[in-house]
Structure 1
Amino acid sequence: MERPWSQQIGYDAFRVFARLAGTVCFRLRWQGSENFPKAGGGLICSNHQSFFDPVLVGLTCNRRMNYLARDTLFHNPILAPLIRYLDAIPIDREGGGLAGLKETLRRLKAGEQVLIFPEGTRTPDGEVLPLKPGFCSVARRSKAPLVPVGLDGAFQAWPRTAKLPRLGRMAVVIGEPISAELIANMSDEQIVTELASRIQQCHQQARALRE
């Protein structure tokens, strides 16, 4: 996708700022960035601990990341300008999110990366929740690899019950992707099981990395 040069430079600048802020404020560490696709589409699948998560995953990748956001956030006077600037994909949960899914597929087929949280919601206790299978059809239709990501520390810094974040340590681990060829030969249940296993492994590695 073609974007204005100002938006491209702005995204890169935001990533540099996020890396600096994460390192200074949260002693952020990450590993496995080489597992992101060097080119072409990629469906990036992470566990979900807090509002920090999209930024945490995005800053670990040297390529642009596309984000999904509830359509109601596009009307939030504080978040809307940033969400629009980052070219986020609006998702209408009450309406089934069909338009958002079509846009996600379009960007994947255009060779871009899209971040999703297949648990569907933030964790209540810091552990990885069961994955919802909706991503399987997107992966099949886009023929994009699934890239597992595990993050830890974001829940401790900003649990869903807290209005404001606090300082702490965070870590992100990016695992080896599940290729499109492998996905084509697996059932949805097998895909969910395999991805869940890889996200769990990345999460445990991230927990060890931040300690």
Structure 2
Amino acid sequence: MPERYPPFIARVVVPFFEAIFAIWTRILTLRLSPLSCKGKALVPREGGLIILSNHLSDIDPVMLQWACPRPIHFMAKHELFDYKFIGSMLRLFQSFPVKRNTADRNAIKFAVGLAKMGEVVGMFPEGELSETGELLPLLPGAALIIRQAGVPAICCRLEGTNSIIRYGRTVPNFNPGAKLSARWSEPRDLTGLSNEEVLAWIQANIGPEA
């Protein structure tokens, strides 16, 4: 189960790195075209929340955090935690690893615990980047976490991020003409719905028809 930060970490260290992240993100977005964000006011300002988004690019977590008024704890592929610096930063913000293509019970338990503590959990339910930009089949783990956590869920559809870091690349392409957008759905309490119904709702809100 996740634990709350010690007082010094919560008061000093985390805000410091959040400020650095905000400055870095601001510089990045200034080098690119502005991010058009629709529906930001729909994001609940308190209480546990689960965010679902489509996944076009490795830069998606940065853009999603920029579009969100609250800190997000991301579920990230476990390979990233093998890199010392990246892994340390991910752990500092209580991002957590997930073993892809498996029923990772530890990741599910951690995500549910964070949400029940009133935190925001971010997930990309496709489980991997989309090479073509089309929405990939959604993995059932996202629905399971939502149903177990018992907190509202909200979707954010990202567009244009794959023009910044393209599929298979790691270096950003600073394209001032890129059109970046983030569009939020209405938050919803999905209590009582089946896995299939939850996944259908997610798909309707992060797919191309959203």
TM-score by length of 2: 0.85
Is 1:177 the counterpart of 2:187? The answer is yes
Q: Percent identity?
A: 25
Secondary structure at the counterpart of residue 44 of structure 1: strand
> How many residue pairs are counted as aligned between the two chains?
200
* Distance across 2 between alignment mates of 1:198 and 1:18: 29
Give the corresponding residue for 1:37: 44
Give the corresponding residue for 2:30: 24
AA matched with 1:10: F
1:21 shift after superposition: 2.2
Match of 1:8 among 11, 14, 23: 14
Give the corresponding residue for 1:153: 160
1:104 shift after superposition: 0.8
Give the corresponding residue for 2:111: 104
Could you list the per-position Cα deviations for residues 174-201 of structure 1 after superposition, in whole angstroms to 9, with x for gaps in the alignment? 111122xxx224322222112211112x
Give the corresponding residue for 2:80: 73
Could you list the per-position Cα deviations for residues 82-135 of structure 1 after superposition, in whole angstroms to 9, with x for gaps in the alignment? 223322112233764221211111100001010000111101112222222221
Residues 97 and 33 of structure 1: CA distance in aligned 2, closer, same or farther (over 3 Å)? same
Map residues 47-126 of structure 1 onto 2, 5 A cutoff.
47-93=54-100, 96-126=103-133
* Distance across 2 between alignment mates of 1:66 and 1:21: 22
Asked if the contact 1:48/1:119 (under 8 Å) is kept, the reply is: yes
* Distance across 1 between alignment mates of 2:120 and 2:153: 10
Asked if the contact 1:91/1:100 (under 8 Å) is kept, the reply is: yes
TM-score by length of 1: 0.85
User: Where does the alignment leave 5 or more consecutive residues of structure 1 unmatched?
Assistant: 206-211
RMSD, aligned CA? 2.1
Residues 104 and 144 of structure 1: CA distance in aligned 2, closer, same or farther (over 3 Å)? same
User: Where does the alignment leave 5 or more consecutive residues of structure 2 unmatched?
Assistant: none
Residues 197 and 18 of structure 1: CA distance in aligned 2, closer, same or farther (over 3 Å)? farther
* Distance across 2 between alignment mates of 1:68 and 1:14: 21
